[in-house]
Amino acid sequence: MQMRFMAAAFTALGERETNQDSAHADPRLLVVADGVGGAPAGEVASAVAVRAVVDAGPDTDPALLAERANSAVVAHAEADPATAGMATTVDIAALVPGPAGWEVRGAHVGDSFTLVQTDRVTRLGRAHTLAEELVAGGHITPEEGARHPNRSALMRAVGMGPTVEPELWSHLAAPGTRYLLSSDGLFDALGMEAVVALLDSLRPSPPADVARMLVESACAAGARDNVTVVVAEVTPWQG
């Protein structure tokens, strides 16, 4: 039995004048990238990263997809001095045939989000921020991390260096399982608890309606950052 994503993407500016997010959703590949705030040409970095991933395609290993995105952003910045120093987060989910059946394989770099929804909602990967890295290394407690003055500083991003180290994950593709990829603007506006509650309440709705409602809810809550959401459901497909 073949599988495909039934997927949709929505985005909004929030209170920003430009959109530094980029996204892609098709039957086998999902990508969200969020240009790093404070760095030059974030909107260019996110678009370049997404295009590199899409061009490589879903059958490319997710680690290599992240590396392709990183190489493309670095090369663009070297070729165009106006974009020097640009960087972006990236989250990838690819639906691929595996030895035990179809799988969803992913890669995560930065502080954006990927959630998987089965009978419960789980986050895949952690924020690659200074606070999270210090907590993960046992250097400080979570409470200390929440108070750290530079807690949100990104420690990993695409374009930040010549190589990139993504977090990788994989699942067997189960029909009905949903994936949410989003920029951090969604969670900054609503918080994790509210996002999970919305996902649960919208479970009967198609992915396009879920993505739209999440973005609209974030904007109604006063989103200060760009909000970009991709929602996808694994479905059987007779190709």
d(CA 95, CA 233): 11
Percentage, residues of the chain above pLDDT 70: 87
Q: What is the pLDDT of residue 144?
A: 52
The pLDDT of residue 136: 67
pLDDT in tens, 124-144: 987 766 556 655 666 656 655
**pLDDT for position 130:** 54
Instruction: pLDDT band for 146, please (50, 70, 90 cuts).
Output: low
Sheet holding 121-123, edge to edge: 2-12, 227-237, 178-182, 113-117, 121-123
pLDDT digits (tens, 9 = 90+) for 166-219: 999 999 999 999 999 999 999 999 999 999 999 999 999 999 999 999 999 999
Model pLDDT, residue 175: 96
What pLDDT is stored for residue 173 in this prediction? 96
| pLDDT band with cut points at 50, 70 and 90 for residue 94 | very high
CA distance 170 to 79: 35
What count of other Cβ atoms lies within 10 Å of the Cβ of residue 1? 9
Q: Please provide the DSSP assignment of 145-178 as one string.
A: HHH-TTTT-BS--BTSSSS---EEEEEE--TT-E
Strand order in the sheet with 88-98: 21-25, 29-35, 88-98, 101-109, 167-172
Predicted confidence at residue 21, as pLDDT, reads 96
pLDDT value at position 100?
A: 87
- Highest mean pLDDT out of 131-145, 152-166, 217-231: 217-231
Span 142-154, average pLDDT: 60
**pLDDT above 70: residue 230:** yes
The model's pLDDT over 39-82, given as tens digits with 9 standing for 90+, comes to 678 999 999 999 999 999 999 999 999 999 999 999 999 999 99
| Residue scoring higher pLDDT (233 or 15) | 233
Report pLDDT digits (tens) over 103-132.
Answer: 999 999 998 889 999 999 999 987 766 556
